[in-house]
Amino acid sequence: MTQAERQRRLERFETAHREGGLPVTMQRRAVFEAILDRRDHPTADQVFHVLHPRLPQLSRMTVYRILGTLVSLGLLSRICHPGSSARFDPKLHQHHHLVCLDCGDIIDLEDMRLNTLPWPDVGRHGFQIEDYHIHFRGRCARCRPRAKTLPAGRKRAPRLRIPRNKATLKPKGTRA
């Protein structure tokens, strides 16, 4: 994100709060800025762990509430994948994701062809489509070499592991 784009998003942050009648608090701004430059689609817990050393009075629940507010104001989007915690994305334009089944990494995929797919007729279900995002599931470049080979004809059952914040992991043999 360029500095000009970052500044524009921060101005939009303040405008959205004013228009919504909400105060611009130090905590809200810190949470928004913590996500703004990230490309890894952090969870609320990851945002909390990044900010807590700098803002020890910030609680985990406050981070969850702030993220919900930022989503409702249209400043962030919430992305959910089966078996995973909600993740937050600063990119608001139409784009899609590659989701690693092993480590849980989410990679942005910009492909204009995917943005012009015809929508299915869902009227008989009483459903109205408003938007869509495509999630391709597979293995990232880091996990692919580690994937276990299976006997011919057998497929591994897909699973999605929830990534842990590496900063909070304890070395083996230590107690919390």
66-122 tens-digit pLDDT: 999 999 999 999 987 666 789 999 998 899 999 998 888 899 999 999 999 999 999
DSSP 55-69: -TT--HHHHHHHHHH
139-166 tens-digit pLDDT: 999 998 887 654 455 455 555 555 555 4
- Residue 172, pLDDT score: 45
- Residue 150, pLDDT score: 47
- Residue 163, pLDDT score: 52
Cβ neighbours of residue 142 closer than 8 Å, sequence gap 6 or more: 103, 105
DSSP 29-58: HHHHHHHHT-SS--BHHHHHHHHTTT-TT-
Tokens of 12: 């939009």
pTM for the model: 0.74
> CA nearest 135: which of 105, 161, 165?
105
Alpha helices (H) along the chain:
3-20, 26-36, 44-51, 60-72
Which is higher by pLDDT, 102 or 28? 28
Task: Indicate the pLDDT class of residue 29, thresholds 50, 70 and 90.
Answer: very high
Residue 71 and residue 88 in contact, taking contact as beta carbons nearer than 8 Å? yes
